[in-house]
Amino acid sequence: MGRVVLVTGVSRDLGRKFARSLAADPGVSRVIGVDVVPPRGDVGDVSFVRADIRTPVIAKIIAKEDVDTVVHMSIIATPGSAGGRNTMKELNVIGTMQLLAACQRAESVQHLVVKSTTTVYGASNRDPAMFREDMEPRRAPRSGYAKDIAEIEGYVRGFDRRRPDVRVTTLRCANVIGPNVVSPMTSYFRLPVLPTVLGYDARLQFLHERDLYGVLTHAVTHDVPGTFNVAGDGILMLSQAVRRLQRPSVALPGVAVGRVGSLLKSARLADFSPEQLAFLTYGRGVDTTRMRRVLGFEPAHDTASAFADFAALLPPTGGRTERALGRLAAALPDPDAVDAAGQLLGGPSSAEIRAEVGADHG
């Protein structure tokens, strides 16, 4: 008899594709996918159950299906996709609490796998070169997605203490990237013009979407408890990523990038949360020694090849570049600051940008 696995968050592409690939694993007997809305694509042999993990009904599903392994992927990174920050926090934190309560009551549950994120470490100028799993963020998150993740991991540790018989595996994944991934980071790289923070060059690590499915499957089929950083080998600087995309960039002071980010967010082009801006300023590096030596997983893609696979299928920007430059120039909240940035970098002033693309583009 193989494992009976319940996967949360299957309405989103990453959850749906993972559940479908897991159902094909010979060590898995059945996969039950749970979410508040049905998945849009084919789920293969996955049994979908429409349910909200914020309600006690999730406990009934676990008991009825005799679930022995739970994979928690229903953690949302952006408030826009959830219908607002309050709903996002409910789904992330309250949903996790209710799911853990259901797992605690279910005697059949033997293994819990939680897809977490390296965002839990934050990003600041005080960070170490590489975060190990036993390190704390230098600045505790006070709001948004990062705070949700910190609270979620706290509740998971509490569950681990209350149910020591359950193997708990927490995977702190680097930014997942791939041709079909939609996330704050991939939305940023899809912009026709990339705003960057003047004077900084963030360190980036990526995890290819296929390696995400691989490490989750590995965690399900191998009884290895603990917390693990998961990322591809190597570091890619933001400036290197921009050059490999062959897209123009505009270096601005941090405050100006934040304001431009607010405009992009309101236009639903990219999400510029405070943690996203901090990440684009400082970046982050994580040590993956435990992933290899203890968990026993080796990603097929390093950071550079994961990014190359994503970049290879990006459509050309075409005329969108000129139009985006025009809108950006017209919307710049602080022309003096932009002019100072242009002088330092040897780039155009805000007036020159406007003249180049034409006032009608604003």
Given a cut of 70, is residue 354 above it in pLDDT? no
**Does residue 20 form part of some domain?**
yes
Query: Which pLDDT belongs to residue 19?
Result: 97
Closest CA to 119 of 245, 38, 230: 230
Q: What is the pLDDT of residues 86-142, one digit of tens each?
A: 888 888 999 999 999 999 999 999 999 999 999 999 999 999 999 999 999 988 877
Residues 210, 352, single domain; the answer is no
Given a cut of 80, is residue 219 above it in pLDDT? yes
Given a cut of 90, is residue 279 above it in pLDDT? yes
Q: Give the DSSP H/E element, type plus range, for residue 249.
A: strand 249-252
Residues 220, 341, single domain; the answer is no
Residues 220, 336, single domain; the answer is no
pLDDT tier at 243, thresholds 50, 70, 90? very high
Query: Which pLDDT belongs to residue 357?
Result: 35
**Does residue 346 form part of some domain?**
yes
CATH number at residue 91: 3.40.50.720
CA pseudo-torsion sign 80, 81, 86, 92: negative
For residues 247 and 194, is the Cβ–Cβ distance under 8 A? yes
Residues 342, 220, single domain; the answer is no
3-state helix, strand, coil in the chain (%, to 5): 45, 15, 35
Q: Which amino acid is at 159?
A: F
Of 59-68, 104-113, 185-194, 336-345, where does mean pLDDT reach its minimum?
336-345
Residues 111, 146, single domain; the answer is yes
Residues 76, 126, single domain; the answer is yes
**Does residue 10 form part of some domain?**
yes
Given a cut of 50, is residue 337 above it in pLDDT? no
Of 112-126, 165-179, 281-295, 321-335, where does mean pLDDT reach its minimum?
321-335
Name the average pLDDT for the chain: 86
Residues 303, 361, single domain; the answer is no
Given a cut of 60, is residue 257 above it in pLDDT? yes
pLDDT tier at 164, thresholds 50, 70, 90? very high
Residues 95, 119, single domain; the answer is yes
Of 92-101, 154-163, 332-341, where does mean pLDDT reach its minimum?
332-341
What is the DSSP secondary structure assignment for residue 301, as one 8-state letter? S
Q: How many domains, the chain?
A: 2
**pTM value surpassing 0.75:** yes
**Does residue 256 form part of some domain?**
no
Given a cut of 90, is residue 312 above it in pLDDT? yes
Mean pLDDT of 68-82: 83
**Does residue 50 form part of some domain?**
yes
**Does residue 336 form part of some domain?**
yes
Query: Which pLDDT belongs to residue 81?
Result: 61
Of residues 327 and 102, more confidently modeled: 102
Q: Provide the percentage of residues in the chain whose pLDDT is more than 70.
A: 84
Of residues 75 and 139, more confidently modeled: 75
Of 74-88, 123-137, 146-160, 209-223, where does mean pLDDT reach its minimum?
74-88
Given a cut of 90, is residue 167 above it in pLDDT? yes
Residues 220, 349, single domain; the answer is no
Residues 211, 345, single domain; the answer is no
Residues 325, 302, single domain; the answer is no
Given a cut of 50, is residue 163 above it in pLDDT? yes
The angle that helices 335-345 and 254-266 make with each other, rounded to 10 degrees, is 120
**Does residue 238 form part of some domain?**
no
Query: Which pLDDT belongs to residue 338?
Result: 47
**Does residue 265 form part of some domain?**
no
Structural domain of 354: 321-362
Given a cut of 60, is residue 320 above it in pLDDT? no
Q: How many other CB atoms are there within 10 angstroms of residue 313's CB atom?
A: 9
Residues 222, 342, single domain; the answer is no
pLDDT tier at 358, thresholds 50, 70, 90? very low
